Structure 1
């Protein structure tokens, strides 16, 4: 029979995935899962009818509490708040699983989820990502099934206009990204500009530690000029690497040996439509150390 510790170890990647999607911060997600581990040790696990449900429920509830506390800090955040990016390139997932993860783990998706209140975010994720039934969601949130249905319905309506409108295959996205980074590395401004949608948007997070745009930068040509300027400014010190960031091919930009930013890209299959540039050193620490934490 599987022991309590074995159950938790088996479930840990899933719990971390739940907490990370709730919080957009791997550091905070790890704290939540650690709290759940302590609670699991104190519980009479042998008397728990459904250990998996108990652990997911505990993780979700602790994530809701943590997110309520974090929202006040994020409201006073300097500049634009973006989720902490994670590397998924060392994940044992299949290409199909990575394609699925790219939609519910992407920086774009996690950024959109910030618009939801904590309980609505939990209900939406449990239903739409984890495919939980409404009875399970009701037990987790301590609400009626009818109330949970309403919460999910309102959350879906709230996010409908904000979620990425394009369904792009991983292969198409990768081809575009390889072409774009090749042009960037070769200082081919003409191609970089042509690959940007006219209405492209760039959002940057410096956390008040390093410089970044306080508001979204709009316009494909302006964004191409900004990215190209780094090529001219840093010349031989600039290094651009492709990496799987949150399940989708993105860019790690180095100045010398220092990781300057992790960049996530949304495309429509032909042009780049959105770029999320994480420059906050605190949120780059794991990637800078080449630490990958694949989430399932």
Structure 2
């Protein structure tokens, strides 16, 4: 099979999904996919298995980026969160099944930062895309035994990732959560929070955000009421599914200024992740503008 544009376009969502899970950055994932396209278009030979060729190219490009990305995050101002994406956008790769949503959860992507680049590659290829150890070994140019060892180490590191419910199950809970915070009903809000609930807010030093996680029902309830009270937030909020979890998209004069992602389990909110860094909102804002369900609702 020749390296035609139609073949690359057909595989593009899967390639973006792979790069995003590897890097935790939609912006960097787009750059990797574009670089893979240039290599694909410049490859003048015949490719018998385009999916394998492209998967290998994207994985190796991501591996080249991961070390430098980790160094940048060491100097990041305040807590770092992965870039948010709309999981309902088919252009971002597979996220239809529960397992696919879990593989882009903010909790998992944040925890993946603990892994070495090779461990992360093996975990993503195995768990999110179902590749065999023989296939993974070929991509990474290691033995199958090494692939199995990397996978075992990765799973051990990720054993503490919390289980969360998917967005389709908790829409009503999100509505009650937001209403209690906007109305300043601290008792009603605390009823929705798990005992060890945490809030992580990512402003990247570019906008105001908590520099440390907020922990505990009372502290979290008071913090969220301060953030979402009408006296502080005078924009528009709309519900969406972000990284497989229910989320509130916050707009001011039609511009996306924040995303509040809510993780839940057994009817209680276990974690809240707030994205405010404008650089990290750009990709999601583009998704919103292309979404028939969401476009225009933030105006």
TM-score when scaled to structure 2?
A: 0.88
Task: Check the 8 A contact 1:85/1:245 in 2, yes or no.
Answer: yes
CA–CA separation in structure 1 for the residues paired with 2:290 and 2:216 = 33
Whether 2:220 is the aligned partner of 1:223: answer yes
1:80 equivalent in structure 2: 79
2:172 equivalent in structure 1: 175
Residue from 182, 200, 204 that aligns with 1:207: 204
Deviation digits for residues 229-276 of structure 1 (CA, Å, limit 9, x no counterpart): 234462672433211112322112345654332121111131111111
Task: Check the 8 A contact 1:259/1:288 in 2, yes or no.
Answer: yes
CA–CA separation in structure 2 for the residues paired with 1:149 and 1:266 = 31
Deviation digits for residues 185-216 of structure 1 (CA, Å, limit 9, x no counterpart): 44433211211112101111111111222221
Supply the RMSD in Å over aligned alpha carbons.
2.4
**Runs of 5+ unmatched residues, structure 1:** none
CA–CA separation in structure 2 for the residues paired with 1:194 and 1:186 = 14
1:152 equivalent in structure 2: 151
CA–CA separation in structure 2 for the residues paired with 1:116 and 1:216 = 22
- 1:102 positional shift: 2.2
CA–CA separation in structure 2 for the residues paired with 1:25 and 1:144 = 29
Deviation digits for residues 147-166 of structure 1 (CA, Å, limit 9, x no counterpart): 010000001001102x11x3
Report the more deviating stretch, 142-151 or 101-110. Answer: 101-110
1:128 equivalent in structure 2: 127
Deviation digits for residues 134-159 of structure 1 (CA, Å, limit 9, x no counterpart): 11100111100000100000010011
Instruction: Say if 1:112 and 1:187 are closer, same or farther in 2 by CA, change over 3 A.
Output: same
**Equivalence map 1:1-20=2 (5 Å):** 4-20=4-20
Report the more deviating stretch, 180-189 or 229-238. Answer: 229-238
Task: Check the 8 A contact 1:36/1:59 in 2, yes or no.
Answer: yes
Secondary structure of 1:272's counterpart equals strand
Report the more deviating stretch, 272-281 or 229-238. Answer: 229-238
Secondary structure of 2:266's counterpart equals coil
Task: Check the 8 A contact 1:265/1:274 in 2, yes or no.
Answer: yes
TM-score when scaled to structure 1?
A: 0.89
The higher-RCO structure (CA 8 Å, 6+ apart) is 1
Secondary structure of 1:88's counterpart equals coil
Task: Check the 8 A contact 1:286/1:292 in 2, yes or no.
Answer: no
- 1:169 positional shift: 5.0
How many residues matched?
Answer: 289
Whether 2:109 is the aligned partner of 1:110: answer yes
Task: Check the 8 A contact 2:238/2:248 in 1, yes or no.
Answer: yes
CA–CA separation in structure 1 for the residues paired with 2:233 and 2:247 = 21
**Runs of 5+ unmatched residues, structure 2:** 292-299
CA–CA separation in structure 1 for the residues paired with 2:91 and 2:275 = 25
Task: Check the 8 A contact 1:176/1:269 in 2, yes or no.
Answer: no
**Equivalence map 1:1-296=2 (5 Å):** 4-46=4-46, 48-91=47-90, 97=96, 99-161=98-160, 163-164=161-162, 166-168=163-165, 170-232=167-229, 234=231, 237-255=234-252, 257-289=254-286, 290-291=288-289
CA–CA separation in structure 2 for the residues paired with 1:107 and 1:37 = 28
